């Protein structure tokens, strides 16, 4: 299938003579993310990447800890890239480091994943709960 410039419904024709498991359109699967492009090559960390993938198969929340500069963010971003096709609603990077108050976290998450917030309403709780329950985030 050719490039899709926008998110669009796609249908697969099912027939016994056709392959059943066609790959996702690559343009679409690569679009659903906001992962920052890295300007340097990723080095090593094969074991840690495997561990992250394995843990994320069952864990809803995974925290990488270590001293500043040891490569936590880079490892997380690499793992996120590798898991892009596993999450139907995409994989999103939320930069929390510049936030000074915990109350700002929901807004930062909402704006990263493209959820519209309405003035006077608390962030779309229904959407969060539904997505969380279905394992989409």
The residue ranges that bind ligand ADP (CB under 6 A) are 40, 42-45, 66, 68-74
| Beta bridge mates, 33 | 91
Q: Which residues are CB-neighbours of 31 under 8 A, at least 6 positions away?
A: 4, 7, 90
In the complex, what is the shortest distance from the CB of residue 35 to ligand ADP, in angstroms, rounded to a whole number? Answer: 13
**CB closer to Mg ion out of 21 and 67:** 67
**CB closer to ligand ADP out of 14 and 41:** 41
The region of 15-23, 24-32, 66-74, 110-118 touching Mg ion under the rule CB under 5 A is 66-74
SS3 50: helix
If one asks whether residue 73 binds Mg ion (CB under 5 A), the answer comes out as yes
What are the residues binding Mg ion (CB under 5 A)?
Answer: 73
């Amino acid at each position: 299938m050719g490039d899709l410039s926008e998110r669009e419904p796609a249908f697969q024709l099912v027939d016994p003579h056709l392959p059943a498991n066609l790959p996702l359109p690559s343009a679409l699967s690569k679009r659903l993310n906001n992962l920052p492009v890295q300007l340097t090559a990723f080095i090593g960390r094969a074991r840690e990447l495997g561990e992250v993938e394995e843990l994320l198969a069952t864990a809803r929340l995974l925290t990488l800890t270590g001293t500043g500069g040891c490569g936590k963010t880079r490892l997380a971003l690499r793992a996120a890239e590798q898991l892009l096709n596993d999450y139907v609603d995409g994989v999103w990077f939320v930069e929390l480091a510049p936030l000074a108050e915990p109350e700002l976290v929901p807004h930062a998450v909402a704006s990263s994943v493209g959820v519209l917030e309405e003035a006077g309403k608390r962030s779309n709780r229904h959407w969060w709960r539904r997505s969380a329950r279905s394992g989409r985030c």
